[in-house]
Structure 1
Amino acid sequence: FIPTEDGLNDIDCERFPLATGYADVLGALSALYGEEQEYRTVVLDSLDWLERLILAEVCAKRGVESIEDIGYGKGYVFALTQWREVIEGLDALRNDRGMQVILIAHAAIEKFANPETDTYDRYVPRLQKHASALVQEWCDEVLFATYRVHTRQTDEGFARKRVQGIGTGERIVRTTERPAHVAKNRLNLPDEIPLDYRVYAAFVRGENPLAAIDTETTPTTTPEQEGA
């Protein structure tokens, strides 16, 4: 893991020290590329906290306190230089070292002005739009992890209705874009799969995903053990 936010304290995993500056992230990528190591997966957690480090780097180079001080929208365009440096480093790990790359981002809700319909809300990565577009274009898969939820409407009388969200806590992954969220995949995945790495890895290898989650016969595996 290359952590840019402090959220791995209760997770047993190999990780670099918390990145507190943009140079720390580049240093971690360089170490993975140049040093002897047998890791097969690198996880950058998370992109939206990495964006804070990138914007701080841009501000430091431009001698300003806020990205908005550079000029309307210009700072975010300048930041694409740093984003491309990170992507180049990840590309090198994937292509030259054979590593699987996983990028984690939190979700945000944005207004989407669809030219064919009325404007509606959808989930997107919590990144500035230019950075989000760049990262999504580079990724082979953009997967939206969420909980399965449905709603129930009850009549409270006097023409009042109450809508209640209901869920079981079941975690799922959406793999294709829908009005409610962005997503894509180049693996011909089903529109929805369980949030279980074993299932994803089975699809990648062309195996039976149901067998992958048979916990009585299949031990739990990690991304490093599976590879993809």
Structure 2
Amino acid sequence: MDITSGKIESAQKVIIYGPEGIGKSTFASKFPSPLFSDTEGSTKHMDVRRLPKPTSWTLLKEEVAYVKANPTVCKTYIIDTFDWAERLCIAKICADNNKKSIEDFGYGSGYVYELEEIGRFLNSLDELIELGINVVLTAHAQLRKFEQPDEMGAYDRWELKLGKKTSSQISPILKEWADMILFVNYKTFSVATDDKGTKHKAQGGTRTMYTTHHPCWDAKNRHNLPDEMPFEYERIAHCFKDNAPTQTVTPTVTPHIEPTVSQVVTPPQKTTVAPPAPPIDNNVSDERKEFDTPAQSFDMPNGNIPKALSDLMQINKVTDAEIRQAVAYKGYYPEDTPIENYDADFINGVLVGAWNQVFEIIKKMRNENVFQGGNE
């Protein structure tokens, strides 16, 4: 058993939460080489690099897998915001189980399913950390009445804005998972407006970030940061160095030897040739690298197809005809039935919710030359 000591330099897991409009997205964009998965469209007016807007939980997981398969694409991966991502997760769980709401599950089991799904998702984000990629999750904040078991009375405290009931399930594992939690708010103070000091008004409004726990909010850090600081990235920039992946290639050097021509040519060929690795996650399609490459000679999906399915089709270069033939192959609908006429629960629960299995069928049929053509 190996015993190690000392600090281990690695990428970091960061949560930034606060009220809407305070500048969380702008702050996150200052991290090293950022890449956004923008779930709510908050980066529309920002000059940043972003992946397609996730319209389903499946698509968000594919984007994480894409970053994992292409670790040089960024140094910081940002999900903006996670509370909106939670909605996608809940929608998938409901579709998979043919439920209209997370509340429809008996005895609160729906929240258990969500906790398990979020846990698996955080594990996939941990794989990015191992590759030297920082992970930043932004989230909104909400005020909640809180009462200590050993105290009289109650007080308000800021918490992550997750589902009203899911917050008790999801917030704890998010806070445990993160290396750094930054709570951001407007700092105000009360000023007397009369001579007697009986009337006051709020002033200030400086944007401030808090880095340590307080009875009124959750925050933490592992860098001995001040309890509160101006909301400026420069204040924490020293915490985020260029993190090299844990898997590094050590070049072979032969000192004091005059290299021959073959010695000069051969090593670079070995180090520069990077054969494409097999799919890292068997649950994700092999076409993930096509986020960057626009489709050539590919007909866009029918505009009447629900967006969650349409986005998956575009990214994986799947045509309407391939979807219809795969559905007919499994015996769900006749091949000539338009996709927009499929039942909504079937689209969300099967085509979107089980997209990986659907796409495997399509790839198998492609290899067997089952398809007769593209879009009709």
**Structure ranking higher in strand proportion:** 1
Equivalent position SS for 1:52: helix
What residue number does 1:105 align with?
Answer: 139
Work out which structure has the larger RCO, using CA pairs closer than 8 Å and 6 or more positions apart in sequence: 2
**Is the 1:148–1:170 contact (alpha carbons within 8 Å) kept by the matching residues of 2?**
yes
**Is the 1:100–1:227 contact (alpha carbons within 8 Å) kept by the matching residues of 2?**
no
Equivalent position SS for 1:77: helix
Is it true that 1:165 corresponds to 2:202 in the alignment? Answer: yes
User: Aligned in 2, Cα 1:23/1:116: closer, same or farther, shift over 3 Å?
Assistant: same
1:133 to 172, 181, 184: 172
The normalised TM-score by structure 1 is 0.82
What residue number does 1:191 align with?
Answer: 227
TM superposition outliers: structure 1 runs of 4+ over 6 Å: none
> One-letter code of the match for 2:172?
A
The 5-angstrom pairing of residues 1-228 of structure 1 reads 1-35=36-70, 37-95=72-130, 97-117=131-151, 118-127=153-162, 128-154=167-193, 162-167=199-204, 169-202=205-238, 204=239, 227=242
Equivalent position SS for 1:94: helix
Q: Structure 2 CA distance, aligned partners of 1:166 and 1:66?
A: 43
Q: Structure 2 CA distance, aligned partners of 1:156 and 1:17?
A: 58
Equivalent position SS for 1:79: helix
User: Aligned in 2, Cα 1:49/1:156: closer, same or farther, shift over 3 Å?
Assistant: farther
Equivalent position SS for 1:187: coil
Q: Structure 2 CA distance, aligned partners of 1:58 and 1:38?
A: 30
Equivalent position SS for 2:180: coil
* Greater CA drift, 145-154 or 127-136: 145-154
How far is the alpha carbon of 1:164 from its aligned partner?
2.3
> One-letter code of the match for 2:106?
G
Equivalent position SS for 1:173: strand
| Number of aligned positions between the proteins | 203
Percent identity, please.
35
**Is the 2:81–2:137 contact (alpha carbons within 8 Å) kept by the matching residues of 1?**
yes
1:54-80 deviation per Cα after TM superposition (whole angstroms, max 9, x unaligned): 110110111100111113532122101
User: Aligned in 2, Cα 1:126/1:72: closer, same or farther, shift over 3 Å?
Assistant: farther
Q: Structure 2 CA distance, aligned partners of 1:176 and 1:187?
A: 11
Equivalent position SS for 1:103: strand
Equivalent position SS for 1:186: coil
How far is the alpha carbon of 1:40 from its aligned partner?
0.6
User: Aligned in 2, Cα 1:67/1:198: closer, same or farther, shift over 3 Å?
Assistant: same
1:21-49 deviation per Cα after TM superposition (whole angstroms, max 9, x unaligned): 00111000000001253411011100110
Equivalent position SS for 1:27: helix
**Is the 2:90–2:114 contact (alpha carbons within 8 Å) kept by the matching residues of 1?**
yes
1:110-147 deviation per Cα after TM superposition (whole angstroms, max 9, x unaligned): 12221232321100110122111111110011110112
Q: Structure 2 CA distance, aligned partners of 1:201 and 1:24?
A: 31
Q: Structure 1 CA distance, aligned partners of 2:235 and 2:71?
A: 30
> One-letter code of the match for 1:196?
E
Equivalent position SS for 2:150: coil
The normalised TM-score by structure 2 is 0.51
Equivalent position SS for 2:221: coil
